[in-house]
């Protein structure tokens, strides 16, 4: 067993005998660490103390050499690459980890602390450890003085306790001799005089006892000008009155000294109290902890986790990757795998397999929406199971980097009111739309919001003192606090710079910004160390040491030395054996950003190659590194690994991640050399999967573009079979069109028509091609679309294929606007509900309720709208149908419009615009139309004249009537007539009633009798309905108000009155005050006196 002695000459010995501790400076390193008593001594402080503030240029390297030599001396049998267990590296320096018995000074202190009342033998043993002055050979060093004085003080206390122990055992004569020695050596310590007087009294020498007390009084008065304390005064009184206790009073005990360094935490008391209070919340408390980079979010959470652990809580932590290359939903992978080690998932194991294991051999996954729901539900169910074993806190760190699936699981868990404490830490200035949507979904839970600002002046100064190991002058403290804004990480790095380079550099020479401070500190490290750290930055925030050593082009020991330098410099930490992690994302970012693009690419390739050998199943990381290293030489690896990563993402229903990997695979395919080019089958397979995933994610326009790219490849290759595969794959119906309104890709249409002329097509394939054709043409060719969907419906019903029939019925509605099927007048919404039940595919159930909500919206039946919309909304959220979530917001806006709450309608349209933008739909045009309907109700359509003129539409004729209404609102009738010169008939699709209503308003206001009759005839079937209501997204008021205005124009006053009465009834039922007033005014005004448009 290793034993070090410092109570005298510095010596060490183990089972083999004396240990050679080297020369004076190396011995001083050991002494410095011993003085720290197990606490970490920063490298900067070691260097400063060893070289008395004037270190040589290579001081860091010299210190590392001393450390290496001492480790070999103190642990001669340690295996190569094994971690040191005696002299350990801990940021920002080194520490000794020996038991109290391993150092004589520590053993001495332990014995004294454990014998406060009795134990004469132990005290004698403790004092026998002293062989001379403590730290004798470094007694002149300023850094040793405090520890030497402390040990000497404890030694005196031990001697005083030994006198008291002698008295307690009845050895008064021996106690007199020891007490006399104490008073000679320490004449101003009252305890020695008290013990001497008491020992003399117990020896029967009462006069000598009083004389000793008088001498003590004289010494204190002459040398210090003080009177004796209460203990001496009371003893003198007891001797004079004969009331001295039979047993001597115990000596004053020296307080115990804890040699284990406590974790250091500064400030944030209010924030910590807020978090602690939430531990008593029985519900699902949610905390949104925001703070800039380096503000101390992670430190606060670590401190709070200790509070939770001490209270018996279970704590699970998931970190959203701060760099690319992690698998999707990684934060939940970390959380669930950690929890599964303690609580068996049991029956949920199979459902959780995509997150608990990287093995893709588990059972085939269900369809995307159902599978995603089942996976997320399994997470929630398992979390409830874990909660049964004790209170649970789930911490998600760096959620500003969370992928879509991580947030989806989080929202589901929170909205199910699972009884857990949820804490989300994020950077407010890096919140993206996905996280904003997540916060909006969590708003109903009234989360507790904590924003970490900078530390105050006092805490800032204390942090600087602690890290720098010195007490700078007030001006320096104030300058650093002002420069850093109290940001803890920035303060810490500035304090380290202060410790190593002094006040002048720390306050004046370094440019503003924490990255520049980091660069200054990094520059002080050996070049080899910096290179290895940069390689670690290429790997990511956290690195497997085996991967680093394999990727590095230097000796393995050199890599370890470099990593250790990073640890002691405070740039790296060691979260577990075999792994290093940058202490802050800013450290990694700074090192990575300073690499040239050429070097990054080369090093990513080296890391990727190392991963292929060591961690071949880490497909996401492999995909990331080979994508970053993309070249003709690495393209095949990049393609294959991205395809594998996309498959893993598909297993986890992480559509956004899968899309990213497939995009990367296609990029890699483009970089393959000519002699190894991707086959047309491979490209089309990638593009078809990409299109399918984009549609499943709600990105309809992007999905259509990907399909067109696949078609182009099939066409160029002359592969009819591949073209059919691309065009017939559609299996994800959506509530909104997946192309720009009014746009037709004639090349795609021609290709479909050509394929349909093939006589050998199977009925199911032909049916799917007809569905695709109907979606491509839409209402641009009403007759062709109608014939396509009629034939398709016939085929689907003959095949008795419910999925095919569901796809056909969705195409019927999208292409023709009809609420009923082409055969038998079945209500499409009702039939889709039946298909959803039969196939257990929730997308058909959701769309069925959506179409029934459209019918109810047209009729102004608000209870029915809310019923169907409520079910649609629940399904959209449960299965994460993004496009349906967007249209849900549009429907909510329309209902608010119907009831007259125009402010709420504005809010919902704004939210719908955000979601449509995310889904890749024509969001701006849709939002402009929504805004126009509101302004029309408010009588402010003219305000949007400039907006309408800038709308980029593939159907400019649709914009013409809106433009004309805006011009009329601004008193420009001639210009309004001009913009309507090239009109075409309104398309007979789901926009028909909306566009016909707008056209009717324009015609009535322009007073165009010739056009009025035709418009009236086409608009009349919508009598009794809300204009545009059957879109379940827009509304322009009762159609009968418009029909009445047209009747006035056509000199049919009685018909006008009937329409106005119907309009008033519908408007009053809905509740929109503007519509009610418009109808009431018309009803009470004689048609001959009424001016249309007012």
Read off the pLDDT of residues 197-218 as tens digits, 9 standing for 90 and up: 888 888 888 888 888 888 888 8
d(CA 242, CA 236): 10
Q: Are strands 11-14 and 87-90 parallel, antiparallel or unpaired?
A: unpaired
What is the domain extent for residue 473? 457-512
pLDDT digit string (tens) for 103-135? 999 999 888 877 555 478 888 888 899 999 999
771 in a structural domain: no
Tell me, what's the pLDDT at 1091?
Answer: 52
- Asked if 338 and 232 sit in the same domain, the reply is no
* 57 has a pLDDT exceeding 80: no
Tell me: do 318 and 181 sit in the same domain.
no
**CA-CA distance, 968 to 656, in Å (whole number)?**
45
DSSP state of 1021: G
Name the burial class of residue 893, with classes exposed (0-12), middle (13-18) and buried (19+) by CB atoms within 10 angstroms of its CB: buried
Q: Say if residue 40 is in the same domain as residue 178.
A: no
Of the pLDDT bands very low, low, confident and very high (cuts 50, 70, 90), residue 463 is: confident
Residue 272 scores a pLDDT above 70: yes
| Residue 510 pLDDT > 50 | no
Query: Within this chain, do residues 96 and 182 fall inside the same structural domain, yes or no?
Result: no
* Beta pairing partners, 1038: 1026
Query: Does the pLDDT at position 146 exceed 60?
Result: yes
| pLDDT (mean) for 1064-1088 | 89
pLDDT over threshold 80, residue 785: yes
pLDDT at 248: 45
pLDDT at position 953: 64
Residue 654 is assigned to a structural domain of this protein: no
Instruction: Supply the pLDDT for residue 125.
Output: 87
Q: Once rounded to an integer, what is the mean pLDDT over residues 820-840?
A: 91
Q: What is the pLDDT, as a whole number, of residue 259?
A: 37
pLDDT above 80 (res 517): no
The predicted pLDDT at position 592 comes to 92
Q: How confident is the model at residue 408 (pLDDT cuts 50, 70, 90)?
A: confident
Q: Is residue 825 part of a domain?
A: no
- C-alpha 375/C-alpha 409 separation (Å) is 9
98-112, 245-259, 574-588, 955-969 — which is least confidently predicted? Answer: 245-259
Distance in angstroms (rounded) separating the CA atoms of residues 481 and 490: 9
Is-contact 316 338, C-beta < 8 A?
yes
pLDDT over 80 at 430, yes or no? yes
CA 594/CA 750 separation, integer angstroms:
52
Of 463-467, 836-840, 889-893, the range with the lowest mean pLDDT is: 463-467
The CATH number that applies at residue 995 is 1.25.40
Give CA–CA dist 784/405, Å, rounded: 41
Looking at residues 610-619, what average pLDDT do you find?
A: 94
Choose among 483, 824, 672: nearest CA to 497. Answer: 483
Task: Express each pLDDT in 476-485 by its tens digit.
Answer: 788 777 767 7
Res 503: pLDDT: 61
| Residue 74 resides in a domain | yes
Give yes or no for a contact between 573 and 581, defined as CB atoms under 8 angstroms apart.
Answer: yes
- Helix, strand, coil % over all residues of the chain, rounded to 5: 65, 5, 30
- Residue 360's pLDDT is 59
The mean pLDDT value for 623-646 works out to 95
Residue with the bigger pLDDT between 112 and 262: it is 112
Alpha-carbon distance values, 709 to 714, 747, 982 (Å): 9, 12, 34
Helix 488-504 vs helix 43-50: angle between axes, to the nearest 10 degrees? 20
pLDDT tens column, 887-940 = 999 999 999 999 999 999 999 999 999 888 877 777 888 898 999 999 999 999
pLDDT at 996: 96
967 and 1069 fall within a common domain: yes
Task: State percent of the chain over pLDDT 90.
Answer: 42
Q: Please give the pLDDT value at position 663.
A: 95
- Per-residue pLDDT tens over the stretch 533-561: 999 999 998 999 999 999 998 888 889 98
Please state the pTM of the whole predicted model: 0.66
> What's the pLDDT score for residue 428?
86
pLDDT at 465 > cutoff 90: no
| CATH number of the domain bearing residue 217 | 1.25.40.10
Residue 642 pLDDT greater than 60, yes or no: yes
On whether residue 886 sits in a domain, the answer given is no
Total tally of structural domains belonging to the chain: 6
Tens of pLDDT, residue by residue over 71-84, are: 999 998 888 777 78
Q: Is the pLDDT of residue 1089 over 70?
A: no
Q: Are residues 128 and 19 in the same domain?
A: yes
Domain boundary among 512, 542, 559: 512
pLDDT digits (tens, 9 = 90+) for 1004-1033: 999 999 999 999 999 999 999 999 999 999
pLDDT at position 258 over 60 = no
pLDDT for 861 equals 96
Please report which confidence band the pLDDT of residue 252 belongs to, taking 50, 70 and 90 as the band edges: very low
Average pLDDT on 773-793 reads 91
Mean pLDDT is highest, among 137-141, 364-368, 791-795, for 791-795
Give domain status of residue 802, yes or no.
no
Q: Are residues 218 and 294 in the same domain?
A: no
Q: Which residue has the higher pLDDT, 590 or 993?
A: 993
User: Among 372-386, 476-490, 581-595, whose mean pLDDT is lowest?
Assistant: 476-490
The whole-number pLDDT of residue 316 equals 93
3-state secondary structure string across 513-551: CHHHHHHHHHCCCCHHHHHHHHHHHHHCCEEEHHHHHHH
Query: Does residue 153 sit in the same domain as residue 181?
Result: no
Write out the H or E segment, with its range, that includes residue 397. Answer: strand 392-397
- Mean of pLDDT over the chain: 86
Question: Is pLDDT larger for residue 85 or for residue 81?
Answer: 85
In angstroms, the Cα distances linking 137 to 7, 23, 38, 511 are 10, 12, 20, 43
Q: Is the same domain home to 998 and 950?
A: yes
Q: Helices 527-539 and 597-614 meet at what angle, rounded to 10? A: 70
CA separation for the pair 762, 950 (Å, rounded): 47
Average pLDDT estimate for 776-790: 91
pLDDT at residue 734, as a whole number: 75
Same structural domain, 331 and 237: no
Q: Is residue 300 part of a domain?
A: yes
Residues 907 and 1047 reside in one and the same domain: yes
Beta strands in 398-444 (DSSP E): 421-426
Q: Dihedral of CA 334/335/341/347: which sign?
A: negative
Q: Tell me, yes or no, whether 174 and 149 share the same domain.
A: no
Q: Which of 249, 265, 295 is the last residue of a domain?
A: 249
Domain containing residue 113: CATH number:
1.10.10.10
Rounded to whole angstroms, how far apart are CA atoms 992 and 997? 8
- Looking at 542, 562, 595, the residue that finishes a domain is 595
Residue 363 has a pLDDT of 45
H or E element: which one contains 318? strand 314-319
Q: Residue 509: pLDDT above 50?
A: no
Residue 490 lies in a domain: yes
- Please provide the size of the chain in residues: 1094
- On the CB side of 414, CA atoms within 13 Å amount to 28
Q: How many CB atoms lie within 10 A of CB 215?
A: 15
pLDDT at 760: 85
Lowest average pLDDT, out of 255-264, 648-657, 1032-1041, goes to 255-264
Compute the distance between CA of residue 559 and CA of residue 573 in angstroms, rounded to an integer: 15
Confidence check: pLDDT of 260 > 60:
no
Instruction: Measure the CA–CA gap between 1056 and 1087, rounded to whole angstroms.
Output: 8
The Cα–Cα gap between 1016 and 997 comes to 10
Treating both helix axes as pointing N-terminal to C-terminal, what angle do 330-340 and 368-387 enclose, rounded to 10 degrees?
40
**Top-confidence range, 226-235, 282-291, 937-946:** 937-946
């Amino acid at each position: 067993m290793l034993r070090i002695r410092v109570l005298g000459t510095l010596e060490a010995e183990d089972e083999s005998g004396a240990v050679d501790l080297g020369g004076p400076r190396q011995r001083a390193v050991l002494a410095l660490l011993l003085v720290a008593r197990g606490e970490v001594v920063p490298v900067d402080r070691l260097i400063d103390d060893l070289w008395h503030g004037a270190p040589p240029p290579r001081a860091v390297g010299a210190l590392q050499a001393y450390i290496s030599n001492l480790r070999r001396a103190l642990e001669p049998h340690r295996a190569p690459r094994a971690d040191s267990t005696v002299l350990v590296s801990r940021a920002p320096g080194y520490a000794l980890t020996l038991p109290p018995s391993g150092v004589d000074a520590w053993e001495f202190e332990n014995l004294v602390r454990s014998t406060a009342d009795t134990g004469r033998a132990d005290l004698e043993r403790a004092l026998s450890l002293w062989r001379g002055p403590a730290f004798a050979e470094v007694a002149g060093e300023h850094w040793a003085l405090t520890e030497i004085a402390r040990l000497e003080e404890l030694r005196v206390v031990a001697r005083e306790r030994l006198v008291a122990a002698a008295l307690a055992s009845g050895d008064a004569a021996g106690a007199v001799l020891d007490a006399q020695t104490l008073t000679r050596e320490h004449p101003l310590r009252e305890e020695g005089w008290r013990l001497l007087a008491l020992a003399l009294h117990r020896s029967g020498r009462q006069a000598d006892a009083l004389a000793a007390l008088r001498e003590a009084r004289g010494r204190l008065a002459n040398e210090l000008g003080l009177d004796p304390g209460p203990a001496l005064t009371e003893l003198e009184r007891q001797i004079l009155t004969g009331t001295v206790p039979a047993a001597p009073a115990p000596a004053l005990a020296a307080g115990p000294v804890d040699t284990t360094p406590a974790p250091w935490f500064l400030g944030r008391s209010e924030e910590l109290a807020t978090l602690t209070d939430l531990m008593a919340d029985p519900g699902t408390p949610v905390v949104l902890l925001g703070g800039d980079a380096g503000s101390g979010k992670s430190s606060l959470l670590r401190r709070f986790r200790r509070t939770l652990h001490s209270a018996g809580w279970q704590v699970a932590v998931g970190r959203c990757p701060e760099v690319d290359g992690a698998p999707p939903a990684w934060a939940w992978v970390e959380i669930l795998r950690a929890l599964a080690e303690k609580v068996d998932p049991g029956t949920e194991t199979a459902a959780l397999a995509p997150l608990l294991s990287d093995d893709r051999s588990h059972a085939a996954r269900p369809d995307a929406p159902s599978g995603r729901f089942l996976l997320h539900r399994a997470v929630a169910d398992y979390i409830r199971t874990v909660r049964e074993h004790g209170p649970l806190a789930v911490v998600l760190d760096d959620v500003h980097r969370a992928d879509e699936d991580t947030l989806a699981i989080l929202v589901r868990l929170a909205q199910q009111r699972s009884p857990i404490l949820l804490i989300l830490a994020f950077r407010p200035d890096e919140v993206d739309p996905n996280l904003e949507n997540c916060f909006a979904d969590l708003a109903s839970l009234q989360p507790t919001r904590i924003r970490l600002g900078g530390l105050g002046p006092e805490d800032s100064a204390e942090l600087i003192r602690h890290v720098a190991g010195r007490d700078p002058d007030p001006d320096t403290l104030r300058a650093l606090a002002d420069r850093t804004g109290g940001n803890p990480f920035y303060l810490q790095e500035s304090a380290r710079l202060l410790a190593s380079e002094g006040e002048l550099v720390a306050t004046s020479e370094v440019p503003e910004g924490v990255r520049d401070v980091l660069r200054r500190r990094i520059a002080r490290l050996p070049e080899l160390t910096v290179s290895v750290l940069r390689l670690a930055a290429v790997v990511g925030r956290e690195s497997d040491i085996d991967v680093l050593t394999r990727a590095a082009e230097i000796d393995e020991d050199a890599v370890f030395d470099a990593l250790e330098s990073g640890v002691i410099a405070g740039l790296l930490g060691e979260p577990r054996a075999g792994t290093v992690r940058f202490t802050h994302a800013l450290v990694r970012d700074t090192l990575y950003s300073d690499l040239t693009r050429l070097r990054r690419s080369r090093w990513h390739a080296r890391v990727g190659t190392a991963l292929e050998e060591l961690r071949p199943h880490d497909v996401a990381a492999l995909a990331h590194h080979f994508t970053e290293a993309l070249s003709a030489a690495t393209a095949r690896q990049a393609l294959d690994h991205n395809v594998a990563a996309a498959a893993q993402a598909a297993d986890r229903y992480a559509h956004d991640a899968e899309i990213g990997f497939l995009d990367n695979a296609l990029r890699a395919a483009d970089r393959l050399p000519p002699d190894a080019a991707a086959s047309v089958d491979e490209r089309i397979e990638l593009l078809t999967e990409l299109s399918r995933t984009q549609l499943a994610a709600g990105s309809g326009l992007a999905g259509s573009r990907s399909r067109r790219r696949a078609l182009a490849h099939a066409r160029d290759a002359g592969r009819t079979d591949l073209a059919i595969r691309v065009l017939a794959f559609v299996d994800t119906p959506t509530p909104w069109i997946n192309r720009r309104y009014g746009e037709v890709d004639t090349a795609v249409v021609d290709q479909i028509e050509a394929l349909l002329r093939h006589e050998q097509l199977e009925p199911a394939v032909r049916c799917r091609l007809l569905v695709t054709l109907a979606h491509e043409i839409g209402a641009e060719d009403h007759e062709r679309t109608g014939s396509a969907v009629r034939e398709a419906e016939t085929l689907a019903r003959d095949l008795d294929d419910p999925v095919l029939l569901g796809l056909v019925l969705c195409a019927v509605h999208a292409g023709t606007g009809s609420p009923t099927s082409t055969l038998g007048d079945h209500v499409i919404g009702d039939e889709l509900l039946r298909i959803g039940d039969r196939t257990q595919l929730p997308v058909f159930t959701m769309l069925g309720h959506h179409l029934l909500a459209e019918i109810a919206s047209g009729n102004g039946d608000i209870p029915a709208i809310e019923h169907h919309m409520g079910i649609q909304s629940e399904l959209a959220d449960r299965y994460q149908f993004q496009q349906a979530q967007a249209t849900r917001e549009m429907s909510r806006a329309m209902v608010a419009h119907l009831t007259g709450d125009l402010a709420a309608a504005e809010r919902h349209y704004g939210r719908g615009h955000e979601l449509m933008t995310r889904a890749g739909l024509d969001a701006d045009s849709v939002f402009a139309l929504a805004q126009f309907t509101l302004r029309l109700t408010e009588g402010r359509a003219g305000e949007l004249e400039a907006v309408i003129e800038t709308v980029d539409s593939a159907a400019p004729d649709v914009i013409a009537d809106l433009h004309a209404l805006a011009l009329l609102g601004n008193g420009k009738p001639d210009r309004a007539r001009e913009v309507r010169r090239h009109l075409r008939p309104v398309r007979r699709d789901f926009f028909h009633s909306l566009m016909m209503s707008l056209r009717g308003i324009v015609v009535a206001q322009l007073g165009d009798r010739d056009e009025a009759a035709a418009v009236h005839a086409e608009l009349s079937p919508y009598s009794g309905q809300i204009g545009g209501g059957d879109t379940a997204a827009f509304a322009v008021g009762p159609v009968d108000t418009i029909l009445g205005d047209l009747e006035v124009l056509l000199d049919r006053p009685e018909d006008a009155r009937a329409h106005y009465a119907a309009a008033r009834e519908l408007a009053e039922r809905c509740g929109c005050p503007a519509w009610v007033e418009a109808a009431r005014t018309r009803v009470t005004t004689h048609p001959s006196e009424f001016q249309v448009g007012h």
